[in-house]
Structure 1
Amino acid sequence: MSVTLAYPAMGPILEFMEANKRIHLASRCPALHAIDKSTPLRLDFLDFRKNCIQINLMLYHLSHCEERYVESQSQIEDKSSRETLAPGDIQIDGNAFPKFRQFVEFRIGNGLGRESVRRLPANLEIHVALKKLSSFLLGGRATSIEVAEELVFFLNRGDILRLPENLQIWVKALKTMHTNFMDILPILDPSSFPLETLILKKASVHNLQSPVFRTARNVEILGDGVSNLDQEEWHMEFQKLPNKNIFMEYDYYGGDRIVHLVRYWMENGKEIGTCWNFVRRPWEDLVRELDLIKAEIGGTYRRAAIGYALILPFNDDSELVVHAVKIPKLPQKAIQLVIQPKVERSSFTDKIIDPFYANWRLYTLSTVLTLLFGSFFLTVVMGPYAILCVTPPIFMITIFMRSLMPTRG
């Protein structure tokens, strides 16, 4: 005898069911409707685009389409009267009566080539259909919708986000491309703050002043930066940010800007564990940028676990490490600023290794010249047999010097 579950017991099962399967199941079984709406909806990924909603891997998309008129006999007869010019009528630029009619097409796809297409009623406008769609997928929930990975808004200025009433979304990572993140704060559950990650295309001065921005644990700023009108004000606000982790993709913040940022930190302090990254183009010389910081502020080049690093004393307990890093999964490299606890170094390191890193170019040139002249002298004195005596020492010294040379960014 088979055992069936009572409908109330379906709540925990629905809660951890894949979201799209759950929505489909609840739509086919009216008895589950109330249980579905009262049970928390858990998503991995939620993306809003123009006339489109993506839940996990499933895409729900509305679009305008056209088809050529297939006219009935009555329409053909009526067409003659519609196209006949009465006295006083003027037809502009020839016959332009519509040969196509528009309708709204609804597509559901999983990104793997499987897609279902449905034509909506002719009198249903696309914005009305979008409102009905979002209400069907996300509306009427008694609790906040939980998005485990990322909530994305990819909308342009002027686009209208059609959402159900009283929608609340709990999220850890918020990504707003071409969208002001402050516009969508009303639909975010207050318990989402502080955000784990905030990703945005541009950050205005007003954004930098927002508590949501300033309290996010990780901030990524993508795109082309700020307008020329507010660069100085933007720079002043940016260097005051308390965020511990910032990733900036565009090249606006480089050179002198980094020098000003470092000076501000040294004058006003910064928390240990702060890590800010500024992406550079693949062909840019990051060592030259480090040299600029050293020339303007000072510091010492030292060999560290991360390679070639500029160390600047920060205070009695911490120091600032500036170095080049490779960005995971991207071709670019970045200048990274890290505040770390001060590292006590041995007298050998202070007296031998650190001066070498501070003047490594001079030492390297001196070593190469010494090897060349020494080899030439021995060859003159000993003849051809000098090659056998000179080659192994030169090879070993070269390997040793290469191991000491800083890694260029």
Structure 2
Amino acid sequence: MPTALSYPSLQCVLEFLDANKRQYIVARTPAIQQINNLLPINLSNLEFTPYRLALDSLYITVSDTKLTWKKNNARLAWEIRFPEGVGKDKMWTKITKFYLSERPKFHVNRLHIFSTESRIVLPSDVSLRVNEMRVDGCFSFKNYLSIVDPSSFPLKRLCTLIDGESTFDNPVFNSAETLTCSFSPRTTIIPLTKFDKVLSKNVRIDYSFFWHEKVVELIRHWREVGKEIGTNYVFFKDNKGNITDALSKLNDIFPEFNNKLEGVDERFIIDSPRFLIPMNSTAEIMMYGNVATERGLDHYELTVKITSIDTDMQSPAIKKPRLAAA
């Protein structure tokens, strides 16, 4: 007969058990219910979309008249109808409170929130410790900071809309280790010099309408004030033409810095110009177009990064003359 788990062992197993399996086991084991609320629940992904909550592979959807539970890729779902007099908004409040407020503390690797029409309403007493936070749609991450435990900061990754210049005064935004941000047509006018406040060396930027002038602005600013070696800014689009057109125009502006970047291990956009631009005596700006693959789909990037000077791959503008033979 197998030996029963000790109390510390049971705690360890329960804490790192799949969240949905844990819920199933706890509901059927009164003895475990006594310690369940003392242990955090670990989730790989927690997602909120309008009237839908996803805990890893379990999707809970509130429609006009019923509540649906469905496992990811499952053919069958479990449904119940609302009690009489209970509307959609009230049921959403009940569900989010049941799963998030009346449970142990959540440790979430990736929190994803998506909404385009109105801000998603969540219980005020929710507190999530998260590693990564992504907010898509028409709202900024600032609308949802109240549900994130302060111990989560600095975030390992933050993806958000820039809704105004005040975004660059937010310490959560400025301290994220990796930053992905999008500009709407309204905020495109914000100068990229605002990123001087950002501590992250890894920044990804998406413009609704991508202009090569924004890259020129960034490069000229870095050449004037300097930037730390290892800084990597990526402008990304699904449309290859946006990137190749920008590179072609950049080639007209910086023709003297054209460089094949031989020895650089990247999946370059074929036949697109590449550049190596001097910044100061120890660093230079490398710029090129490349193809990246995510979830099996290709998208296109214009990468601008700061590297230490490589004497074997210097820009023609800063190459030292060869010594004449004796």
TM-score (norm 1): 0.67
Contact 2:184/2:208, CA 8 A, preserved across alignment: no
The match for 1:282 is: 240
Asked whether 1:147 is paired with 2:92, we answer: no
**Structure 1 residue 194: Cα displacement:** 1.3
The match for 2:61 is: 61
- When Rg is computed on C-alpha atoms for both structures, the one with the higher figure is 1
Contact 1:300/1:354, CA 8 A, preserved across alignment: no
SS at match of 1:17: coil
* Counterpart Cα distance in 2 of 1:8 and 1:119: 41
What are structure 2's unaligned runs of at least 5 residues?
Answer: 322-326
1:177 to 112, 115, 136: 136
Residues 288-319 of structure 1: per-residue CA shift (max 9 Å, x gap) = 13313405xx5342442236531111112111
The match for 2:324 is: none
- The structure that is helix-richer by fraction is 1
Compared CA separation, residues 171 and 41, structure 1 to 2 (3 A): same
Residues 97-148 of structure 1: per-residue CA shift (max 9 Å, x gap) = xxxxxxx311100122231111131122333322222232222445x41112
Residues 249-290 of structure 1: per-residue CA shift (max 9 Å, x gap) = 335343222111111111111111111111252233354133
The match for 1:93 is: none
2:285 to 311, 314, 320: 320
Compared CA separation, residues 289 and 240, structure 1 to 2 (3 A): farther
1:132 to 91, 94, 97: 94
Compared CA separation, residues 233 and 194, structure 1 to 2 (3 A): same
Asked whether 1:246 is paired with 2:187, we answer: no
Aligned residues: 306
The match for 1:168 is: 127
- The structure that is strand-richer by fraction is 2
The match for 1:337 is: 304
Larger mean CA deviation between 194-203 and 2-11 belongs to 2-11
**Structure 1 residue 188: Cα displacement:** 1.1
Residues 314-341 of structure 1: per-residue CA shift (max 9 Å, x gap) = 1121111111111223433221101011
Compared CA separation, residues 346 and 231, structure 1 to 2 (3 A): closer
The match for 1:365 is: none
Compared CA separation, residues 226 and 238, structure 1 to 2 (3 A): farther
Residues 19-41 of structure 1: per-residue CA shift (max 9 Å, x gap) = 01111222233332231111111
Residues 192-215 of structure 1: per-residue CA shift (max 9 Å, x gap) = 111111112444322233111111
**Structure 1 residue 43: Cα displacement:** 0.4
The match for 1:118 is: 80
* Counterpart Cα distance in 1 of 2:117 and 2:34: 37
The match for 2:274 is: 309
**Structure 1 residue 171: Cα displacement:** 1.3
* Counterpart Cα distance in 2 of 1:13 and 1:198: 30
State the identity %: 24
* Counterpart Cα distance in 1 of 2:130 and 2:143: 16
The match for 2:214 is: 257
Compared CA separation, residues 337 and 8, structure 1 to 2 (3 A): closer
Letter in 1 for 2:311: E
SS at match of 1:257: helix
**Structure 1 residue 9: Cα displacement:** 5.2
Asked whether 1:29 is paired with 2:29, we answer: yes
SS at match of 1:38: coil
Letter in 2 for 1:321: M
Letter in 2 for 1:47: E
* Counterpart Cα distance in 1 of 2:119 and 2:277: 48
Asked whether 1:299 is paired with 2:257, we answer: yes
What are structure 1's unaligned runs of at least 5 residues?
Answer: 65-103, 356-409
